């Protein structure tokens, strides 16, 4: 989002907040009353925001403001979470580096608060009721207690690229063990990592899930 003068930032924040709370943009009268300015001044600031490509002003309507900066709208919406690719509940998969889409979900579904979502691939965590196709909420932090379920980025020894997996976490000194929640421990064997030889970083804590479709294939 553009670096804005203070008054224009106040106005943009108000537009985003009103759109988030009511689903509708404010009128110029709403803006003038909220910011303690005249309608003429409000209109000048609106035209400045439009010139910067943040909004579009629609003629002949009292709420003729269309928000064009989708990133700003998402960042100001506490119900909106980015869906960031897939996470393995099985063998680790390549960590994604892009956001697939933004989803609007109730923050109360997650504890602690989720910062982003991953789509589950694999069945290693099914005993913890985490199934293929579930969207898992991840609370971003770099530390965890023993036995917590975490999203972990593991360095691939051949490529050096991070791979991402969801497992139950245990650490003893330099040794990390990532455990599955599946009775088939031959297929879903523990992943043991020596931090002296291989990088492993906690991405965040499992905070809850959304189940969209129980029949989603494992791909």
C-beta of residue 98 within 8 angstroms of C-beta of residue 119:
no
A 10 A CB-CB count for 81 gives: 26
Measured CA to CA, the distance from residue 193 to residue 1 in angstroms comes to 40
C-beta of residue 182 within 8 angstroms of C-beta of residue 114:
no
Angle among Cα 102, 107, 109 to the nearest 5 degrees reads: 105
Q: Where are the domains of the chain?
A: 6-75, 85-210
State the pTM of this model.
Answer: 0.64
b/e for 205-219, b at 16 or more Cβ within 10 A? bbbbbbeeeeeeeee
Per-residue pLDDT of the chain (219 residues; tens, 9 = 90+): 457 888 898 998 898 888 766 667 888 899 999 999 999 999 999 999 999 888 889 887 778 888 886 566 555 566 777 788 787 776 666 555 556 777 878 777 899 988 889 999 999 999 999 999 999 999 888 899 999 999 999 988 888 788 899 999 999 999 999 999 999 999 999 999 999 999 898 989 999 999 976 554 443
- CATH pick for 6-75 out of 1.10.10.10, 3.10.150.10, 3.40.50.300, 1.10.630.10: 1.10.10.10
CATH architecture of 85-210: Ribbon (2.10)
The set of catalytic residues is 124, 167
Contacts of 10 (CB under 8 A, 6+ apart): 35
Please list the residues that pair with 66 across neighbouring strands: 56
């Amino acid at each position: 989002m553009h670096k804005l003068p203070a008054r224009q930032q106040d106005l943009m924040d108000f537009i985003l907040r009103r759109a988030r709370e009511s689903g509708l943009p404010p009128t110029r009268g709403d803006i003038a009353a909220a910011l303690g300015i005249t309608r003429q001044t409000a209109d000048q600031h609106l035209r400045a925001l439009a010139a910067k490509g943040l909004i579009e002003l629609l003629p002949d309507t009292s709420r003729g403001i269309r928000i064009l900066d989708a990133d700003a709208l998402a960042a100001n919406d506490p119900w909106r979470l980015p869906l960031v690719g897939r996470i393995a509940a099985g063998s680790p998969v390549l960590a994604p580096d892009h956001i697939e889409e933004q989803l609007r979900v109730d923050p109360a579904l997650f504890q602690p608060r989720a910062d982003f979502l991953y789509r589950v691939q694999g069945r290693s965590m099914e005993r913890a009721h985490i199934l293929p196709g579930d969207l898992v909420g991840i609370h971003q932090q770099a530390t965890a207690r023993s036995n917590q379920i975490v999203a972990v980025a593991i360095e691939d020894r051949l490529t050096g690229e991070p791979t991402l997996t969801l497992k139950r976490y245990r650490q003893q000194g330099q040794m990390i063990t990532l455990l599955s929640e599946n009775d088939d421990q031959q297929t879903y064997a523990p992943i043991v990592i020596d931090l002296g030889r291989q990088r492993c970083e906690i991405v965040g804590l499992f905070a809850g899930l959304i189940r969209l479709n129980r029949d989603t294939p494992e791909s």
